Structure 1
Amino acid sequence: MNRRRFIKASFALAAACGAPGMAGLFSRTAWADEAGIADGQTRAFDFSELQNMASSLAKNPWGGAPRPLPNTLATLTPQAYNSIQYDAGHALWNNIEGRQLDVQFFHVGMGFRRRVRMFSVDPSSRQAREIHFRPELFNYHDAGVDTRQLEGQTDLGFAGFRAFKAPELARRDVVSFLGASYFRAVDSTYQYGLSARGLAVDTFTDQPEEFPDFTAFWFETPKADDTTFVVYALLDSPSITGAYKFTIHCESTQVMMEVENHLFARKDIKQLGIAPMTSMFSCGTNERRMCDTIHPQIHDSDRLAMWRGNGEWVCRPLNNPQRLQFNAFMDENPKGFGLLQTDHKFESYQDIMGWYNKRPSLWVEPRNRWGKGTVGLMEIPTTGETLDNIVCFWQPEKPVKAGDKLNFEYRLYWSGDAPVHTPLARVYATRTGMGSFPEGWAPGEHYPSQWSRRIAIDFIGGKLKESAPKGIEPVITLSSGEAKQVEILYVEPFDGYRILFDWYPNSDSVDPVEMRMFLRCQGEAISETWLYQYFPPAPDKRNYVDDRQMR
């Protein structure tokens, strides 16, 4: 469950899965003139060939866990591993004068045991050449690596890659693929946050989660002035293989990826996660149980947003629950979904280490028809910010059987804000606290006789202000309990409206309470739909405690 291992700092500490020997898939032909750091023999390559590779691979047993690394790499500490740096003078496209893009590779070692193969592709001739590992591609600094153990090991491969964009070439990367099938990108803040994955398998089932690997990458050489590059990837795991095409647009304010995959199931799969993403939510405006620090909020993402196939917009604030929770939101041909970081004010975090105010959102836009399925959301209890505890993905309704072939096309937007949002009023923030007393008054010397929890949802935008004179009606639905003391308040600082209500229990149950609300004016919906999951305390905890000590 320790997903933070996969993306600590600028990389992912992966429990790498295995891949078969691929010698048969990469038979060599004639030599070609040496170009850049690609030193292997040439072979014709295109996306259809990669799909054939993945299809053939799926008909054979999985190759198992990766081979052992040389001892000098297997025993590296995180600090030592971080001190190994790729030599920028050997970057993939270093021989292209005036280039806008470049690629460097990560060293294998420590938890990165999967030997990933890298290939350079000439887009005009469609010829590919392998880039073999050699120690001179790296600067080892004080990592303590005995490079004598690495001499001649051209099959050592690499752990992953990262891409750079001018004018930050060789200094600040904008895309990183490292660990299993994990990858990340940044916006104009150059601050990494949540991660995406190529695929998720059995994230929430009665068997261990499976982490597929990207086992090889092919890079099309861009032109000097290109700010877009294409990379192909082969995915492999015990249950499934896949051929991926990433068209990565490194724009000025965001990174946008066009993804096309072709998947081939080796065996039946209980839960297949498409376009998965992994994030962290420790505490925020609605959940402050773990916020006993100097930081008002701690999270990479604050909500799950969905634009459903029927046109409905949904906001679901994230939780750090006391016990693991999994929710599935049914949909058909979704228009989009993502984990968003909507609060970009430094004052909200007061953090000069994680810089959570700079962390990007990630939005998925399906490009072909995905049919029926669910957006799955798993929230795992965490004690702090070092553990990734939020997982989100699309799960097709139809069970995946051995021999099935699937195809999904989508775009991934890495940016401060989602590329689209509802024209209706949208949720600005969700807040919770003690209830059963008038807003503006403390509970006072005499505490209320009946316990309740106050919920406040702030809405902004849309037609809120012009609807107010006609009457704004909160439509509240609860799975249990009652909503009382409902209030509608205009809040000038954010030029929006706060909806307040107190939730009163009607039983001793501690099961999660599903809350749903939207705003209506004269019978017409004027806001997106707010969903929330509240966890009532045990009956003996439903009281107010006065801990004052007076002499």
Structure 2
Amino acid sequence: MHRRTLLKTSLALASLGLPGLPAFARLGDASEAQPFDGERLRQRARELAGRPYESHVETLPATLADLEPLNYQKIRYDPAQALWSGDDAFDLRMTFFHVGMHFNVPVHMHALDPDTGMARPIHFSPSLFDYGQAGVDRAPLTGRDLGFAGFVLASAIRDGHVDEAGAFLGASYFRFLDKNEQYGLSARGLAVNTALASGEEFPDFTDFWFVQPEPGATTVTVYALLDSPSVTGAYRFDIDLREQGAVLDVDMTLFTRRPIERLGIAPMTSMFLKGTSQSQARDTIHPQIHDSDRLEMWRGNGEWICRPLFNPETLQYNAFSDENPRGFGLVQHDHDFDNYRDDVAWYNRRPSLWVEPTSNWGAGEIALVELPTMGETVDNIVAFWIPGDPVEAGQQLDYGYRLYWYPLPPVSPSLAQVDKTWTGMGNVPEGWIPGDRSPEEYARRFAVDFVGDTLDELPDDADVVADISISRGRLGMVQARRFEPIDGYRAIFDWIPETASDEPLSMRLYLRDGDRTLTETWLYQWVPPKPSERYY
């Protein structure tokens, strides 16, 4: 296989009457060019699904397989050799991640010329990378086309600095920045059997095709092929870099090899360690630590629901039935630095991720998985859509949706929204420290703060009521009152156990003035302590 630099490739293409592309190193020879379009990709995925699955994992040279994470991070792609780097008219660039460590599935990259419809492979070479002090022996890498682990979309490269907009790396994971320029939660191409005892399957993006953008464009189209033991997929990502953040239009066609018990569409993963309702969940100096603080849902019937996230002691799985949802997402609602006091991780700058269906999704449910975590380096929150109909072998499934990587979702309810959730000891007056009390007197207090125009406009004599339902136990004290310091209202209630059960319970609350709904619906899941731990 011939590997040529920009000059040789451009000359070869010109001799064939084909235009030369802007520079990038190790562009495949002109003889390697293949016709490509979305229909060809779907046909390839369909044919692949008709064959037995073959693992894409490769045995890497030991110098790469044995890399420690800190050394892997020292390997840098040379920005001077980025895709489309040969023409100053292009701001958008592509750079690539090196294989190594647990990134042992080689991903094949291709450059597509939209004028000719021909795609050419991008070949790996050690000369594309700066290995610095990573301790990599380059000798075993020379002469081998190891592929890449993923890619970075850069909004520009100036003075050798890469202005990252987003990245695809590892299985089918990807993430993008918003205007605050801080990475946070990740999206995935697909989720298969998440949180099932049988074990989760992680599909891989095995191939990408990059469509050369127009000069000066802020949008780029990327095609992808997905493969796993249960399913293949043909994807198209139209990536638009806007002032607020990145917007990705996703169109995908899936072909199933075998039945899938739990298929997750538009999955996203995030981290929640501690927040206002779990301030003592982990002993740290920071009052809050999370990439997202809530699951927000705009249901097909128009109802808005806020489900604050929770760091449980054991895995918790919840599903919310819906039909043609208007949107949902994991949201970082709180962007106030004072509520985190973290100038290293900058959780106040983390983006939200909002899913807006662009096709008919029909009936199904939004799933939320919450896993226990002791640290902030592992994602323990997953959310995705599950189709209502069973997924059988030999099916074709088509979905379209739009992803917004914004500080806050692009839409919001006309009703007041949940601001914060708090919990503490119940069945006591505010400001009073109890003495010895029996477990029979145990109660847990919850406070939910709401803010929004519908509350600001209420007259002083409005009869605001907290409408509350709980799946178990009984309510003690309940009140709803104006909360002047936040220009909103606070709902407070005590939950009192009626049994010794420590199974999770569900709570639902909203504020109303007579028959008029004032707020979105607050949902919460709480796990009560065992009876022996019900003390003050």
Same fold (TM > 0.5) = yes
Q: How far apart are the structure 1 equivalents of 2:462 and 2:336?
A: 33
1:159 match: 149
Matched with 2:370 is: 379
| Matching residue of 1:504 | 496
Deviations 1:272-312 (A, max 9, x none): 00000000101100122423211001111000000000110
Match of 2:74 in 1: 83
Maintained 8 Å contact 1:133/1:158: yes
Report the Cα distance in structure 2 between the residues aligned to 1:249 and 1:64, rounded to whole angstroms.
Answer: 33
Residue 135 of structure 1 deviates from its aligned partner by: 1.0
CA distance in 1, matches of 2:457, 2:211: 53
Contact preservation (8 Å) 1:467, 1:521: no
Distance apart, 1:162 and its partner CA:
0.5
Distance 2:227 2:67 in 1: 26
For the 8 Å contact 2:282–2:374, the answer to whether it is kept is: no
Which amino acid is the alignment partner of residue 92 of structure 2?
Answer: L
Query: What displacement does 1:399 show?
Result: 1.0
User: Who is 2:466 aligned against?
Assistant: 474
Q: Does 1:418 align with 2:409?
A: yes
1:492 aligns with 2:445: no
The structural deviation recorded for 1:443 is 2.2
- 1:59-458 pair list within 5 angstroms: 59-154=50-145, 156-166=146-156, 170-439=161-430, 441-445=431-435, 450-458=441-449
Q: 1:39 aligns with which of 21, 28, 31?
A: 28
Kept in 2: contact 1:299–1:385 (CA 8 A):
yes
2:17 aligns with none
Secondary structure of the residue that 2:13 maps to in structure 1?
Answer: coil
Amino acid in the other structure paired with 1:541: E
Q: Tell me the amino acid that sits aligned with residue 476 of structure 2.
A: K
**Alignment partner, residue 522 of structure 1:** 514
The letter of the residue matching 1:136 is: S
- Whole-Å separation in 1 of the counterparts to 2:517 and 2:365: 24
Task: State, as a whole percentage, how many aligned pairs show the same letter.
Answer: 50
Could you report, residue by residue, the CA deviation over 1:440-499 in whole angstroms, capped at 9, with x for unpaired residues? x22245658711111000001031133353311111000111222212232223211111
Q: TM-score, normalised by structure 2?
A: 0.93
The answer for unaligned runs of 5 or more in structure 2 is: 1-11, 15-19
C-alpha distance in 2 between matches for 1:110 and 1:387: 17
One-letter amino acid of the counterpart of residue 399, structure 1: P
Q: Distance in 1 between matches of 2:231 and 2:506?
A: 35
| TM-fit CA distance, 1:159 | 0.4
Aligned equivalent of 1:6: none
Tell me the distance in 1 between the aligned counterparts of 2:265 and 2:317.
16
Distance apart, 1:167 and its partner CA: 6.9
Q: What is the letter of the counterpart of residue 148 of structure 2? A: F
| Distance (Å, rounded) in 2 between the aligned partners of 1:229 and 1:447 | 64
Classify the secondary structure of the residue corresponding to 2:267. Answer: strand
Letter in 2 for 1:163: L
What displacement does 1:170 show?
3.7
CA-to-partner distance for each residue in 1:26-78, whole Å, 9 max, x for gaps? Answer: xxxxx735642322421111111101110011001111241211222111111
> Secondary structure of 1:286's match?
helix
Contact 1:32 1:42 in 2 (8 A): no
Distance 1:486 1:474 in 2: 8
AA paired with 1:467?
L
| Secondary structure class of the residue paired with 2:414 | coil
- 1-structure distance, mates of 2:347, 2:436: 40
- State the AA in 2 paired with 1:171: V
Alignment partners' CA distance in 1, 2:13 and 2:365: 49
1: CA distance between counterparts of 2:274 and 2:92? 37
Deviation, structure 1 residue 205: 2.0
Could you say what secondary structure the match of 1:83 adopts?
A: coil
Partner secondary structure for residue 470 of structure 1: coil
Residue 113 of structure 1 contacts residue 159 of structure 1 at CA under 8 Å; is this kept in 2? yes
The answer to whether the 8 Å contact 2:465/2:479 transfers is no
Is the Cα contact below 8 Å between 1:462 and 1:527 reproduced in 2? no
Q: Residue 520 of structure 1 aligns to a residue in which SS? A: strand
CA separation in 2, counterparts of 1:116 and 1:58?
A: 18
Aligned AA for 1:516? Answer: R
When structure 1 is superposed on structure 2, of 428-437 and 62-71 the one drifting more is 62-71
DSSP-derived class of the 2:495 partner: strand
TM-score when normalising by structure 1: 0.91
Structure 2 SS opposite 1:473: strand
Q: Which amino acid aligns with 2:514?
A: Q
* Alignment RMSD (CA, Å): 1.5
Q: Return the letter of the residue paired with 1:246.
A: F
Letter in 2 for 1:488: A
How far apart in 1 are the matches of 2:401 and 2:100?
Answer: 32
Paired residues, number: 512
Alpha-carbon distance between aligned partners in 2 of 1:120 and 1:330, rounded to the nearest angstrom: 41
How many angstroms does 1:527 deviate by?
Answer: 1.0
Q: Name the SS of the counterpart of 1:353 in structure 2.
A: coil
Q: Give the Cα separation in 2 of the matches to 1:170 and 1:103.
A: 13
- Give the 3 Å change call, closer, same or farther, for CA 505–294 of structure 1 in structure 2: same
The AA in structure 2 aligned to 1:32 is: L
